[in-house]
Chain A
Amino acid sequence: AQTVTQSQPEMSVQEAETVTLSCTYDTSESNYYLFWYKQPPSRQMILVIRQEAYKQQNATENRFSVTFQKAAKSFSLKISDSQLGDTAMYFCAFMIGGYQKVTFGTGTKLQVIP
């Protein structure tokens, strides 16, 4: 069975600073996908970034980037120049290729402080 672990239940960061959220996963599969989702207090969960396991290059989306270490089964999210709108729950998620069951972590609550 696949597992996703987010070891930081809560984090805070000063506005304009950089923060890194940790995620580790466990699987014996070789073809899979990793995601970071953001759920603001308004509740709608939105995709932040997606990584394909067979791609060595780390995905980036504007201020959001990941460090994907396949051997270590680590998938951390870096948020640069943090903004107040980044305050949210962040969920790491894992999906095996060809199979749509997504396994989510328990989330990290990020608070951006003005």
Chain B
Amino acid sequence: ETGVTQTPRHLVMGMTNKKSLKCEQHLGHNAMYWYKQSAKKPLELMFVYSLEERVENNSVPSRFSPECPNSSHLFLHLHTLQPEDSALYLCASSLEWDRGQPQHFGDGTRLSIL
């Protein structure tokens, strides 16, 4: 399954670094999402984009900055992260954002903050 591709697979960064996570979907979907997955916690929805417009922002700290240049690409820009931000970051897409359609997930980026 290569419908949703995330890069890099692993990322180790210091607290003062700036990096970006990339997500690309080849499914022709109109909605894209960023989730944070931490051990023993439910997936946390961070951002939702529909046709390149942000429709959901779940009180995420400003050190996480999303960008959706088109309906196929989604980025998560990271700067001045904290150790508690270490987690698996999952990207997902769905055909539409508001009709109960299932989401297709990427493999995730394992982020470790030193």
Contact = CB atoms under 8 A, between A and B. Distances in A.
B1 A44 contact: yes
Contact of B90 (A4, A42, A45, A98): A45
A44 B105 contact: yes
Nearest to B55: A100
A33 to B, nearest CB: 4
Interface residues of B, number: 28
Interface of B: 1, 31, 33, 40-43, 45, 48, 50, 55-56, 58, 88, 90, 92, 94, 97-100, 102-108
A43 B108 contact: yes
Contacts of A43: 88, 107-108
Interface of A: 4, 32-33, 35, 37, 42-47, 50, 52, 91, 95, 97-107
B100 A33 contact: yes
B94 A100 contact: yes
B107 A50 contact: no
A44 B107 contact: yes
Nearest to A42: B107
Contacts of B105: 37, 44-46
B98 A99 contact: yes
B43 A91 contact: yes
Contacts of A102: 43, 45, 103
B1 A46 contact: yes
